[in-house]
C-alpha cells in the first residue's frame, strides 16, 4: 500500500475511533494557507484539531513523537483559519493526536497549544 492510501486508511480508522468516543466529525483533511489538519471534531462544546500518526512498530519511537513543535505550530495556525472562517473565534479548543501503533489506537487529548 502506498503512503497516500495508507494515510487515508488510518485516518478512516481514527475517525471511526473518535466517533466511538462520542465525537462529531466536522471536517477531514482541512486545508488552509497555514497547513492541513487531518481531522476536526467536536465533543462537549470543544473543537478538537486532531493529527493522526501511525507507525507499524515503536522501533523509531512513538507515533506522537513525530508531531514536533513546527508541525504543532502549523496545526495551530490552520486552526485559526478554520475558526475564523466559521465565526467561532472564541471557541474552546483542544489540540490532540490519534496515535496508531500497530493495531493499538489511542487518543492523546490537549497535548499541545498555548505557545
Q: Which H or E run includes 54?
A: strand 46-55
> What integer is the mean pLDDT of 35-39?
96
> What integer is the mean pLDDT of 54-82?
94
Q: How many CB atoms lie within 10 A of CB 87?
A: 7
Locate 5 and state its grid cell.
492510501
Domains and CATH numbers, the chain: 3-112 (3.40.1350.10)
Beta-bridge partners for 93: 47
Is the confidence at residue 7, as pLDDT, over 70? yes
C-alpha 4/C-alpha 72 separation (Å) is 21
C-alpha 72/C-alpha 53 separation (Å) is 13
Is the confidence at residue 22, as pLDDT, over 60? yes
Yes or no: say if 95 and 110 are a contact pair by the CB < 8 Å rule.
yes
> What integer is the mean pLDDT of 51-66?
93
Report yes or no on whether pTM surpasses 0.85: yes
Amino acid at each position: 500500500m502506498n503512503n497516500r492510501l495508507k494515510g487515508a486508511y488510518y485516518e478512516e480508522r481514527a475517525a471511526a475511533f473518535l466517533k466511538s468516543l462520542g465525537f462529531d466529525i466536522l471536517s477531514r483533511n482541512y486545508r488552509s494557507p497555514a497547513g492541513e489538519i487531518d481531522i476536526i471534531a467536536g465533543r462537549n462544546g470543544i473543537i478538537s484539531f486532531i493529527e493522526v500518526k501511525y507507525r507499524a512498530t515503536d522501533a523509531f519511537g512513538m507515533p506522537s513523537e513525530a508531531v514536533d513543535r513546527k508541525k504543532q505550530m502549523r496545526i495551530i495556525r490552520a486552526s485559526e483559519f478554520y475558526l475564523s472562517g466559521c465565526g467561532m473565534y472564541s471557541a474552546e479548543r483542544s489540540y490532540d493526536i490519534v496515535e496508531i501503533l500497530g493495531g493499538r489506537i489511542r487518543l492523546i487529548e490537549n497535548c499541545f497549544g498555548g505557545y
